[in-house]
Amino acid sequence: MANTKATGLKSAVYSAIWSGRYDAKPGWRTGMIRLLRLALVLARDLAYGQLTLRATGLVYTTLLALVPLLALSFSVLKAFGVYNQLNPLLLQFLAPLGEKSADVTKWILKFIENLNFKVLGSIGLALLIYTVVSLMQKIEESVNFIWHVDELRGLARRFSGYLSLLLVGPVLAFSVIGATSTIMATPQAKLLLGYGPVGGTVYALGQTIPVFFVIGVFVFAYYFAPNTRVRLNAALAGGIVAGALWQGASWAFAEFARTSTQYAAIYSSFAIFLLFLIWLYLNWLILLLGASIAFYIQHPQYLVLEQGEPRLSNRMRERVALMLMYLIGKSYADGAPAWKFAELTQRLGVPAHALQVLLRALEQGGLLLQSGDVPPAYLPSRDLAAIAVQDLLHAVRTAGEEQYLGPQAVPVPEEIESVLARVNYALEQQAAGLTLRDLVTPPAAAARG
């Protein structure tokens, strides 16, 4: 009896969280269900290891690119006369390492200063730049994986964008830091800071500025890194959560580094290197976790329990395809604005990848066209009366056969072939004569008009 009750309770909880669309729930339950789904899906992503695996790969790439990256930034900053700001920024980033952070910072800066680009030659310099660019590409690939984007930016866009970020980014960041320090060092600012209430407020703001700076870096990464259009609210949500996690992880890791003396006893001088690797891993994991949050905020239709790319059943593919053509055809007939991909995704509540597959099938079937807008809108390829429902269903049912398996690749006995032929014939008979115009403007409505 107890097991039956427990099973019934578990089934009821599962049904309450995962059944149907969350936005169909009444009132406050919508937000509650969405938060529960988000937490469970993030826990699933961490448990199945894709995020942790990619964070580990980024740690390895970072070790290869760290010195070239800092050397490149150091050279640019030195040319602009603000290279002295590199030391405090490194100290702040490595602060969770505890008392050893100053030693690691000093070692890195000394290594960079001793790096002689003239000795490397053109091939060595090209390899250093390639190492840095490969780190940026690895970051983009990891974020694209989270956003279910298959293609990277073009080679020219990647190279120009990466180098622009590497050359201009440090100058802008350190210029802001330097300008703030200069303003705060003026006699007027010191006099103003000497006034109690103002000084306390400025001190409190000074303590929160690093937090906002970290959040801003995360928001920038989530908004520009994926090779797709990201809404600002999604990037902001991911950046705020990632920034809060980074601050919490900094405090927790600093306590861990301070209290874990056994690591120094076991690993000796390698202990600080081990702690550095763990800290790098946590940073990349937090960045990827925040990217996942931004993705799920923008695409809540992916908040499903199953891992991997959500797929539609054959029945749902036909249903969604008919609804797609209905929406696009009706807007065209009514003279309303054409539907765009993001609007269709939100309207139907279908995972973006599954919707892309259907739209591609309808385009290849000669039923849809994309406009030249950015982002493009979808239009019927011809008059609605010339688009047969039978052709629409055929395009969806046969999509992918030219690239993968077709009926001829799986021979079947005559009895099975006969059953399949009767099913196809029944479908053709039921859809015979029906066009998209009949769906958009039913005969009864047309007669009344």
Q: Which residue, among 312, 292, 313, has the nearest Cα to 303 in the 3D structure? A: 292
pLDDT band at 295 (very low <50, low <70, confident <90, very high): very high
Does residue 337 have a cis peptide bond before it, meaning omega lies within 30 degrees of 0? no
Q: Supply the pLDDT for residue 220.
A: 87
| 239 CB-near residues (< 8 Å, 6+ apart) | 215, 216, 218, 219, 220, 221, 222, 290, 294
pLDDT digits (tens, 9 = 90+) for 414-434: 888 899 888 888 888 888 888
Instruction: Tell me: pLDDT of 332 over 70.
Output: yes
Choice between 70 and 7, residue whose per-residue pLDDT is larger = 70
Choice between 183 and 339, residue whose per-residue pLDDT is larger = 339
Q: In percent, how much of the chain has pLDDT > 70?
A: 64
Q: Supply the pLDDT for residue 328.
A: 93
Neighbours of 26 (CB within 10 A): 6
**Mean pLDDT (the chain, rounded):** 76
Q: Supply the pLDDT for residue 241.
A: 93
Choice between 278 and 20, residue whose per-residue pLDDT is larger = 278
pLDDT digits (tens, 9 = 90+) for 360-398: 889 988 999 998 887 789 999 999 999 998 888 888 888
CA 168 – CA 156 distance, rounded (Å): 18
CA 43 – CA 199 distance, rounded (Å): 43
pLDDT band at 237 (very low <50, low <70, confident <90, very high): very high
Q: Supply the pLDDT for residue 233.
A: 92
CA 231 – CA 229 distance, rounded (Å): 7
Kindly state the tokens that stand for 346.
């939100």
pLDDT digits (tens, 9 = 90+) for 54-90: 898 888 888 887 777 777 666 666 666 555 666 666 6
CA-CA-CA-CA torsion for 139, 249, 234, 304, nearest 10 degrees?
90
Q: Supply the pLDDT for residue 240.
A: 93
Whether residue 110 contacts residue 67, with contact meaning beta carbons closer than 8 Å, is answered with no
**Listed range (199-203, 256-260, 266-270, 439-443) with the worst mean pLDDT:** 199-203
Strands 368-370 and 377-380: antiparallel
Whether residue 432 contacts residue 390, with contact meaning beta carbons closer than 8 Å, is answered with yes
pLDDT band at 356 (very low <50, low <70, confident <90, very high): confident
Whether residue 346 contacts residue 302, with contact meaning beta carbons closer than 8 Å, is answered with no
Choice between 2 and 79, residue whose per-residue pLDDT is larger = 79
Instruction: Tell me: pLDDT of 238 over 60.
Output: yes
pLDDT digits (tens, 9 = 90+) for 185-234: 556 555 555 555 655 555 555 556 677 878 888 898 898 888 888 899 99
Instruction: Tell me: pLDDT of 135 over 90.
Output: no
Q: Supply the pLDDT for residue 447.
A: 47
Domain with CATH 1.10.10.10 in the chain: 314-448
pTM comes to 0.68
Whether residue 263 contacts residue 274, with contact meaning beta carbons closer than 8 Å, is answered with yes
- In CATH terms, 314-448 corresponds, of 3.30.428.10, 3.40.640.10, 1.25.40.10, 1.10.10.10, to 1.10.10.10
pLDDT band at 119 (very low <50, low <70, confident <90, very high): low
Instruction: Tell me: pLDDT of 326 over 90.
Output: yes
